[in-house]
Amino acid sequence: MPTIYANRLDRGSLRPEDDVILIFPRFLGVLMAALTPSLGDALLIVDVQNDFLPGGSLAVARAEEVIAPLNGYLALFARHALPVFATRDWHPVQHCSFREQGGPWPRHCVAGSPGARFAAALLLPESAIVVDKATRPDADAYSGFAGTELADRLHALGVRRLFVGGLATDYCVQNTVQDALRLGYAVLLLRDAVRAVDAAPGDGENAIARMLGAGAAAIELAQLEG
């Protein structure tokens, strides 16, 4: 098991090689009562779609590496009969985020297109609850909570703690995690199942630091299977 640090002040003594989890005291009980998924937990997979994978129009470097660990988490949640959510960009053809509309990104994840499909190798169960985001032409949304029914669906299932992984660390994962924390969820960031755009070097690691600083904890699949 990693060392557990229960407040931000402890980080000054950390070395790069230390295996740690950083958490706020207010989340200590619900985060660490048990790492093993249990009643009140849900797995939230963010935007593992073809356009973000190699060969896609907005490919994230090494994005394919999240699939194997995510499948491991999916198997774990299936064994415990716990809910799985999957967000996806589901843009109209003239979405405001596209460069031809004055936005920052190439056209990607157009609703119903092959690029908007979940990665074929991602073993989502039929019971997975799919959440479409950024569906309006005039509004972008990096968070899975922005303009969606995600919070209502989680509340209806009595979810209190989220295991979150997917793409990309420095955009949709970060915004989803930060919104989840603001809404009162405990969040475990799946450190082995996220990859970053890294438009500027270090963006991904900086995003992880912000998520941990806001109250998330970072874990990996081996900690749950060990």
Nearest 5°: the CA angle 166, 118, 88 is 65
Q: C-alpha dihedral over 121, 122, 124, 126, to 10 degrees?
A: -20
Catalytic residues: 47, 133, 172
Amino acid at 20: V
CB 104 within 8 A of CB 97: yes
CB 115 within 8 A of CB 49: yes
Amino acid at 169: T
Residue 77, number of CB atoms within 10 A of its CB? 19
